[in-house]
Every structure is written in C-alpha cells, then in structure tokens.
Amino acid sequence: MKASFSRRASLRGTLGLFFGLAGCQAAEEAGWILASWKVDGTEKAVPSGVQASIQFDGKGSVHGGSGVNMFSGGYSLEGSVLKWTTPFRSTRRAGPQEHMAFEHEFLGILQACDKLVEDKKLTLSGPKGVLVFQRQK
C-alpha cells in the first residue's frame, strides 16, 4: 500500500511538471508587452526601464507585470466585451517613485478596461484610458 501511494505521488508530480511546463510555454506564446497608452486622449510615455505585460490563458485567468510588481486575476470575454471576474492580486514590491506612479495609473486603467480588440496588436480600452500591447518576442 505504501509503495502504491509513492508511485501515484511520483506520477502526479511528473504529470504536474509536464503540464506545468506546457502551460508556461503556451502562456509565453500568448504574451503581450505594453507598446503605448493614452489617458484622456493624450498618449503618455512609458518610463524608461519599465516593462508592463499581460497574458491571457484562454481559460479565464490573466497575469502580467505592471512595471514593478506582478498581477493576476480572472476575466471573461464575449466578443470584444471584456469583464474582470475577480479583483487583481498583486505582489507588493517597492520601486522608484516614477515606476510606482506608472504602475498605479496603469493598473487603474487596466481594471477599468471593458473592451478588448486584437488585430496584430492588443488594444484594451475603457473610461480611464487605452492600453496598446504588441506581441512578446
């Protein structure tokens, strides 16, 4: 009985590692990097040294980088209508003031986005602004 449990645990671990790596590869292939953003119709520069990203898994989970921290949450998509199904969770690292200010504004815009359009670029828009992402290379 003990050996049987050990084999099952080993098999689960092996399968978890295999499917975990396969999932990471798929998420990387679907990754997007922030290329530009607008607030009140005015395009703003992404601060030097900041990289914001987003990845949708196609199964209702989203995660990415907001400049200093990482975030994750849930979403649903019907046509181009985007709904956030859970509040975003985020790591709590600190960074330079300019990066933290960008991150705060970026996440505020992102959480208010209610429309998603993909056509070579990924555009998320809502009442607080527009975020345009390009495919991660």
- Looking at residue 121, which CATH number applies to its domain? 2.40.128.270
Q: What is the pTM of this model?
A: 0.76
Dump pLDDT digits (tens) for 68-85.
999 999 999 999 999 999
What pLDDT shows up at residue 12? 36
Number of domains in the chain: 1
What pLDDT shows up at residue 20? 34
Residue 88 included in any domain: yes
Does residue 5 register a pLDDT over 60? no
User: Which residue range(s) make up the domain with 113?
Assistant: 32-135
Residue 11 included in any domain: no
23-32 long-range Cβ contacts below 8 angstroms, 24+ apart: 23/57, 26/57, 27/55, 27/57, 27/63, 28/55, 28/136, 30/55, 30/56, 30/57, 30/58, 31/55, 31/135, 31/136, 32/64, 32/122, 32/133, 32/134, 32/135, 32/136
Residue 52 included in any domain: yes
